[in-house]
Amino acid sequence: MISQFFVLSQRGDHIVFRDYRGEVPKGSAEIFFRKVKFWNDDEAEEAPPVFNVDGVNYIHVKVAGLFFVVTTMVNVSPSLLLELLQRIARVTKDYLGVLNEDSLRKNFILVYELLDEVIDFGYPQTTSTEVLKSYIFNEPIMVDAGRLPPLGPAAMFMQGTKRMPGTAVTKSVVANEPGGKKREEIFVDIIERISVTFSSSGYILTSEIDGTIQMKSYLTGNPEIRLALNEDLSIGRTGSSSYDYRSSSSGGAVILDDCNFHESVYLDSFDIDRTLTLIPPDGEFAVMNYRMTQEFKPPFRVTALIEEAGPSRAEVLLKIRADFSANVTANTITVQMPVPSYTMRASFELEAGAVGQTTDFKEGSRRLEWNLKKIVGGSEHTLRAKLTFSQESHGNITREAGPVNMNFTIPMYNASKLQVRYLQIAKKSKTYNPYRWVRYVTQANSYVARL
């Protein structure tokens, strides 16, 4: 099935390389990197996750700035291999604590030992951290996470909060703390990726939430855990929506279209009191995946307008309003808007007193880019841009520009209102009281406003 597996750095350096079948010509890693680096097919900015070069299929994912790649000569399901690559990255992170170039190089013996157990002669065997514990004997060499930038979705929670320990996402599940002790703690992350499309008049055309409840356990002895969700949680769509997204209150039933659970979850009492019972395996895993298409209140309102200001000029107005509580702050916001292909220059005008905002005109892709370091709930931000064209515009200029695309991350906020009521851990003794961390984050999947 799989001919080769390799991991490349952003510079194209080989960090890990394993050839299982010897059927792909040498130099495949270099061919892959050059193809990805200089990809310019149909003006796409990045190479697709699957492509073919000279009869060799290349399937890759980019995790923490590293390229995880497999090659194959046969017609294999791309979804299967993409999922396998994600799981290999997750297992590696479970063992190393930190997933980056430095940790891979320092633990290359452990990484190759993991690969030999995960893949045998090109066929996947297991990607379970718990199962692999029986076969892996090398101890990880821990990398100092204090000088590394935070990586991964869980890193969002470590920005601007003192409640989350800095080592939350950088600990190995197999290594002990200094002194031989292991800190008893468990992390539950509710991560939601939302997709919203606004019409030119500001109405919501489509809205969807793809969510997951992630768990990472550092508990010894694998005790039983009870995870309670909203009591008014409903599964399956009904004819009418009982969730009033216009209301500013937190009331209203949470209605999910569908969901699925990890194999370790027992659903005996889920229909009665919406409680999940499980014995968590080692490593990071998804307790529950869910999807919601019921109406919900989007976190941002985006208004975009482009008008002609002369024979070869136009003006753009972009406005963002944060429709969430003032005690919540969104991070790393990026707003992009394609402009007509004959745009030569763009000048920007930010609002008075703007702090932590940058603007840019990408000439290659003919796109305006507006970056905001943070947005506090309830605030509104405006950007004006003046465009200069190389020729007179013909026809309707709004057809040649847009749509506006927005990316953001909002820690400690979730649009679906799905909540963890309590996290109960079976007690081994009266003094047993492990740390429990429940965290929320919302990210943009496809947040688009049409002109």
pLDDT tens, per residue, the chain with 451 residues? 899 999 999 888 889 999 988 898 888 888 999 888 887 654 556 889 999 998 999 999 998 889 999 999 999 999 999 999 999 999 998 888 888 888 898 888 899 999 999 999 889 998 888 888 888 888 888 776 544 444 444 444 434 333 333 334 556 666 655 555 667 888 999 999 999 998 888 888 889 999 999 998 888 888 899 999 988 888 876 544 433 443 333 446 788 888 899 888 998 888 888 999 998 887 788 899 999 988 888 999 998 888 888 778 889 999 999 999 999 999 999 999 998 888 888 999 988 888 889 999 988 888 899 999 999 999 999 999 998 888 776 667 888 887 999 999 999 998 888 999 999 888 777 788 888 889 999 999 999 998 8
- Dig out the tokens for 28 from the structure: 């495949």
Q: Which helix (H) or strand (E) holds 106?
A: helix 101-106
Strands laid side by side in the 313-322 sheet? 300-310, 313-322, 380-389, 343-350
pLDDT of residue 139: 82
Answer whether 0.75 is exceeded by the pTM: no
Strands laid side by side in the 204-217 sheet? 258-261, 283-292, 204-217, 185-198, 435-449, 404-411, 329-338, 367-376, 357-362
CB 95 within 8 A of CB 104: no
DSSP 283: E
Query: Of 324, 325, 370, which is closest to residue 346 (Cα–Cα)?
Result: 370
Instruction: Determine the Cα–Cα distance for residues 131 and 108; give it in Å rounded to an integer.
Output: 20
pLDDT of residue 311: 79
pLDDT of residue 354: 81
Largest CA distance in the chain: 79
